[in-house]
Chains A and B, each alone.
Chain A
Amino acid sequence: MKPFIKHEGLVAALDRVNVDTDQIIPKQFLKRIERTGFADCLFFDWRFLADGTPNPEFELNQSRYIGASILLAGANFGCGSSREHAPWALNDYGFRAIIAPSFADIFFNNCFKNGMLPIRLSEVEVRDLFRRVAENEGYRLTVDLSEQMITGDDGVELHFDIDPFRKQCLLEGLDDIGLTLQVEDRISAYESHRRNFGAA
């Protein structure tokens, strides 16, 4: 997995709550059997009009957000389906970090498996960032994972919390399966006395 250490980039604001994974990537794109190639599918129904042209009303289509790599969003981001295609699509589009007041569990978890950093800030902090983005075209932030800090040229400095194990995995780009197989003997030991009633 690609490590995440420090990232500086343009911030795009998607000021909506409960953005579900059906919006992040609609189902018609889940039939691909690859892990990549989902960039054009991201937010498809919001991004494109019925005739296939970009919807000028949709936030990410604004020229000021072209090239954004940090997404700022409302609470409960990524709710709904477990489809890992959602973080894949965000990643393919270019987002490396997502900042929101809260995330749905499975989506949150899926991000870490793909070298992406979802960051929970308070509602007040996120509101303040939305204001800063609105007022400053080209607003950029730096996310420093080892320091657990978000900083901006305008002086903004925000600390964020992260589970230490997840932090270490991202910083080092560790492979979960490799880690688990290091304790393979424990798995075998568990299996030797595992409860079993003579069926599956």
Chain B
Amino acid sequence: MPKTLFEKIWEDHIVHDEPGKPALIYIDCHLVHEVTSPQAFDALRLAGRRVRRPDLTLATVDHNVPTWSRSLPITDEISLKQITRLETNCREFGIPLFGLDSPQQGIVHVIGPELGFTQPGMTIVCGDSHTSTHGAFGALAFGIGTSEVEHVLATQCLLQSRPSTFRINVEGGLPNGVTAKDLILYIIRTIGTDGATGFVVEYSGEAIRRMSMEERMTVCNMSIEAGARAGMIAPDETTFSYLQGRPQAPKGAAFDEAVAYWKTLPSDEGAAFDRELTIDVSDLAPQVSWGTNPGMVTDVTGSVIDPDAISDENERRAARRALEYMGLQPGTRIEDLQIDRVFIGSCTNSRIEDLRAAARIVNGKSVASGVSAMVVPGSQQVKVQAELEGLDRVFRDAGFDWRESGCSMCLGMNPDILRPGERCASTSNRNFEGRQGAGGRTHLVSPIMAAAAAVAGRFVDVRNWE
């Protein structure tokens, strides 16, 4: 019987399955960071339990780390406590840690793939909802809560009820100036922020096949914003060549053996999905969010929605509230929205290709007066690579801040936050109220849209950029 990519990985990882109970599945890779783990380690200690497989566990600090120079001290004492707690926990339980002083430190969803920990066919979890990023490799990867972090630490397994499957076929090619970020924003806009709740989404089709690994990561990263348990893309030659030579990827004959297995993973011809959707992106425009959730999105050529035009009462009220929070009037053209801040970073869009594309837009230009713009590379390795290519110079010369790696203003747990009322063009993944700082107003866009907005001081259609 033909099987989907998800089914193959799921069945390969069942440790124990009893009727009427969720399946016990094995976890190949557990990523740990400073914010959602301390309570889990404490509970292990309290119960006298050990970490079953420290060798399959990997920790880094990303969420609350400052992005100013690493030579400066961490001034937030509570952040510092969380970071040092992770260090002591990793030492006590024997878990490898890429700490603040490590050349491999970075956002957990950037370093996993970069170091080759993320591989096709794996199950990967982390106490972070954007774990869906790793699905770009044809892995089953999803976010978990702290109690489940504890469960995985203690047992290397997780109790999971089997999700349904949802295939989104993305046909056509993305036009120039339209990116993976625009595609995933458009998908969320189309199906809603709970449009994939209960499903694992497999993205397929021509547009996906043509994407680089980094673009695929951007797509899978935001699956959670549509409510999906996970997002996945079938592994192919693009995947294999990305992995070859990465520090943690199999080497030599083992790599060939791995590739032979990975090639068996894509969904079989005729495999049945519980739900399917096909979209064509040949005419897609750059997307900009106008509201306070990632489904409240429109074309850059469009206008701020008129809540009165929404038929569903709940959605209408939510849109009204969103416009009030965002300080927007119905009918205002998106291109007329002036911005105060620009943030290029986050596990969605902070990889080298994102920075290259943004740098091409700002090259030789300047950040508009009154706009404060920053670039936060996803990892130290991304930062070093960008500096080798001179991208830091391009950004600095244009007036951008060039920072150290971390989650930064995607969630504002560190000192990088918006002030109340500030409007920000952000390459991150969530425009929730207060997400980037209490009272801050986030508009989600692609890196090139953010870069163009920094220069223009307002949103512009990057397709017309010269």
Contacts and interface: CB of A to CB of B under 8 A. Distances in A.
A and B interact physically: yes
Interface of A: 16-18, 20, 22-23, 26-28, 30-35, 45, 50, 74-76, 79-84, 87, 102, 104-106, 109-110, 113-114, 163-165, 176-177, 179-181, 183-184, 186-187, 190-191, 194-195, 197-200
Contacts of A113: 145, 147-148
Interface residues of B, number: 82
A197 B318 contact: no
B194 A102 contact: yes
A155 B12 CA distance: 50
Interface string B1-40: 0000000000010011000111010100100000110110
A105 B161 contact: no
B198 A105 contact: yes
B337 interface: no
A74 B147 contact: no
Interface in B191-216: 193-194, 197-198
Contacts of A110: 145-147
B442 to A, nearest CB: 11
A199 B116 contact: yes
Given A113-B145, A187-B155, A33 B38 contact: yes
B430 A80 contact: yes
B432 A199 contact: no
A102 B82 CA distance: 33
Contacts of B433: 22-23, 45
Contacts of B92: none
Contact of B248 (A28, A76, A114, A199): A199
Nearest to B228: A105
Contacts of A28: 413
A173 to B, nearest CB: 13
23 contacts: A23-B432, A27-B412, A30-B35, A33-B85, A34-B39, A45-B433, A45-B438, A80-B129, A80-B224, A81-B411, A82-B129, A84-B147, A105-B198, A164-B20, A177-B155, A186-B16, A186-B24, A187-B24, A187-B156, A194-B26, A197-B255, A197-B258, A199-B254
Question: Interface residues of A: mostly helix, strand, loop or mixed?
Answer: loop
A31 B251 contact: no
B151 A177 contact: yes
A45 to B, nearest CB: 5
Contact of A76 (B52, B82, B227, B255): B227
Given A84-B147, A176-B147, A180-B154, 19 more contacts: A16-B321, A17-B314, A17-B318, A23-B432, A27-B435, A33-B85, A76-B227, A105-B197, A106-B144, A113-B148, A165-B21, A179-B159, A180-B151, A183-B24, A187-B155, A190-B26, A197-B257, A197-B258, A200-B55
Interface string B255-267: 1011001000000
B293 to A, nearest CB: 5
Contacts of B78: 31-32
B81 interface: yes
B121 interface: yes
Contacts, number: 190
Contacts of B128: 81-82
Interface of B: 12, 15-16, 20-22, 24, 26, 29, 35-36, 38-39, 42-43, 47, 49, 52, 55-56, 58, 63-64, 76, 78-79, 81-82, 85, 116-117, 119, 121, 127-129, 143-148, 150-151, 154-157, 159, 161, 193-194, 197-198, 224, 227, 229, 248-251, 254-255, 257-258, 261, 293, 314-315, 317-318, 321, 411-413, 420, 430, 432-435, 438
Nearest to B429: A80
- Most-contacted residue by chain A among B56, B155, B261, B317 (CB, 10 A): B155
A194 B25 CA distance: 12
B12 A195 contact: yes
Contact of B251 (A30, A195, A198): A198
B262 to A, nearest CB: 10
Contacts of B145: 82-84, 87, 106, 109-110, 113
Contacts of A83: 35-36, 145
Contacts of A30: 35-36, 63-64, 413
